[in-house]
Amino acid sequence: MNKYKKTVPFDPGYSKISFSFLSNIDYVLGDYYQLKTIQQKKFKLSRLENSIIEMINKSTAFYLGCQLWGGFLKSRFKDSPKEISGNHTATLSGKELEELDCSTETNFILQFIESYDKDCKYFLKKPAKISPFILEILKSYNEFAKLNNQFVGVNKTDEIKLPKALEHFNNLTNGQLDGLYDKILATIASGKIEGLLELGFYKI
């Protein structure tokens, strides 16, 4: 970790490969909500199934990545806390800080999944192919954001608070944490953020 002698980045590079569910779901669904007949909706939903799941997975992977990076920073530098550079909240105005809610998209995805699951059961006669782990990640991120006050004023690694899903990070060795770091960077280099889902909550 010699490259992080003084500061560590708030974002290891996720922004380059992140995927916004909010910005893309309406485009993918198109006129689905305007369709009138059950047969039309059934056909449309079956055609969109794979695309919807892919979008949910890609978006959720970003929120898992945020938690894993926070866990890495908190635990890897617990003996020598570092300054965090690039926290986007530092550039926000007072009004923007008041309105800041980092859980806006995660809450939207959770609500969407609930609605989507109902539609799948009604029109396709089967539940949505959503892994329970996806829901766990999104809820854990909401806890993470709340614990850290939407990340406002989080300027040092020892100020990061971890959600329950990452409590085990306190017991990880530096070698295990360095292994996580390598996996995160490899995923970013691949450009496929959904690869982070394979790491889970990094329970070794």
Mean pLDDT across the chain, nearest whole number?
Answer: 96
pTM to 2 decimals? 0.95
How far is 152 from 99, CA to CA, in rounded Å? 12
List all residues 6 or more positions away from 76 whose beta carbon is below 8 Å from its beta carbon: 1, 157, 174, 177, 178, 181
pLDDT in tens, 102-147: 999 999 999 999 999 999 999 999 999 999 999 999 999 999 999 9
Distance between start and end Cα atoms, the chain: 21
Instruction: Break the chain into its structural domains and give their ranges.
Output: 38-199
pLDDT of residue 5: 85
Place of tokens 């996996």: 183
List all residues 6 or more positions away from 164 whose beta carbon is below 8 Å from its beta carbon: 140, 143
pLDDT in tens, 29-44: 988 989 999 999 999 9
How far is 168 from 72, CA to CA, in rounded Å? 11
